[in-house]
Amino acid sequence: MIKNTKRTDSIELSTIRKLFEVTNPNAINLGIGEPDFDVPENIREAMKKGMDDGFTHYTSNKGFDNLRKAIVLKLKEENNIESDIDDVIVTCGATEALFDCCQALFEKGDEVLIPNPGFLSYEAGIKLAEATPVGVETPMENGFKLMADDVQEKITNKTKGLIINSPSNPTGAVMEKEDIKAIADLATDYDFMIISDEIYEKIIYDNKKHYSPAAFGENVITLNGFSKTYAMTGLRLAYMVSPKYITEDLLKVHQYVTACTSSISQIGGLEALTGPQDSVNKMLKEFKRRRDLISDSLNDMGYECVKGEGAFYVFPKVNNPEIFVQKAMDAGVICVPGLAFGSVGQDFVRMSYANSYENIEKAMDILKNMD
């Protein structure tokens, strides 16, 4: 029998996907981070027209020009990021963009800082590049926010990169401007690359504002996409914008992983950026309503819960998360053990409120009456 590589031995299959694929389909799923909304009508119509017009062939590896021009304009106007169309690579989701970054930047002997708790793909992507992930703790008492002082304490002469994610999966935390700017300065001073995962950028509440580290420093690759803001998860569309000196290396990985992103998805992305934003505002209003419901309900049940300022997750503290998750699953509610996101999550579970208000109400009633 042929032996697999040590790289794949070093990682596990996604806990989130395991729960998604093997559990009761009739259960209320608070485990998956996928908006329950349909793709907005204007985006669907644009993609249908693209099909009718025969736009079903390969695009350039980086993505078609009109979409990348729209991305450059969006970054300048909304994120204060100066970029060029040649610095933009359109990818098959943010997951591919993350993989490309890890493969192009990191190797054995490198250390890469990641938030703890943080999205589980960060650790896996780093390990597949044979580098070493190093967690930066973001405890509940700090609102789960990544802070510059904590990052600085973890920097060594082996530090090659840092992945940040604001708003955060799994906690909903939104980083402060001061920390974003200070971390961008650290990347310059200590010469490491920030990979800034900004996929939840538009899903933000309570008059909080999103800040991009690339607005404050040059050692930044910005990742963003369409899955969360426009409910386009299955269309697998995202992008990364990098400093010029690393773009070609990122493109090498992208070329040999996917060649190019779906042409029809790219048409949808162009309409998403340039068309009306009413659907985004509507989804955001509904997400906030659901956040308030699930956060208040969990706190009323005695499960300490920070009311997240962004994304669509809560990270309540529970007794014995493994038993809690199993009991909840048996009762008909799916959630994810917090330990899947790092050691700081060992006393927590993650719940997504990217589900209907009515289903969340039912789920909270089930948990309230759970033995």
The Cβ of residue 350 has, within 10 Å, a number of other Cβ atoms equal to 27
Q: What is the pLDDT of residue 3?
A: 79
Task: Give the amino acid at 321.
Answer: P
Strand (E) or helix (H) holding 28? strand 28-29
* Distance in angstroms (rounded) separating the CA atoms of residues 306 and 222: 27
Q: What is the pLDDT of residue 331?
A: 93
> Using an 8 Å Cβ cutoff, are 100 and 254 in contact?
yes
- Rounding to the nearest 10 degrees, give the CA dihedral for residues 77, 83, 85, 89: -100
What is the mean pLDDT for each group of 10 consecutive residues in the chain (371 residues)? Answer: 80 63 76 94 98 96 98 98 97 98 98 97 97 98 98 98 98 98 98 98 97 98 98 98 98 97 98 97 98 98 96 97 94 94 97 97 96 67
Q: What is the pLDDT of residue 16?
A: 59
> Using an 8 Å Cβ cutoff, are 150 and 136 in contact?
yes
Q: What is the pLDDT of residue 25?
A: 72
195 φ, ψ to 5°? -105, 110
* Distance in angstroms (rounded) separating the CA atoms of residues 39 and 34: 12
Q: What is the pLDDT of residue 282?
A: 97
The strand ranges marked E within 304-348 are 313-314, 333-334, 336-337
> Using an 8 Å Cβ cutoff, are 213 and 241 in contact?
no
Task: Indicate the pTM of the whole model.
Answer: 0.95
Structure tokens at 225: 């996409």
Q: What is the pLDDT of residue 291?
A: 98
Q: What is the pLDDT of residue 11?
A: 72
Structure tokens at 270: 């162009």
Task: Give the amino acid at 223.
Answer: L
* DSSP-derived secondary structure letter, 298: H
Q: What is the pLDDT of residue 352?
A: 97
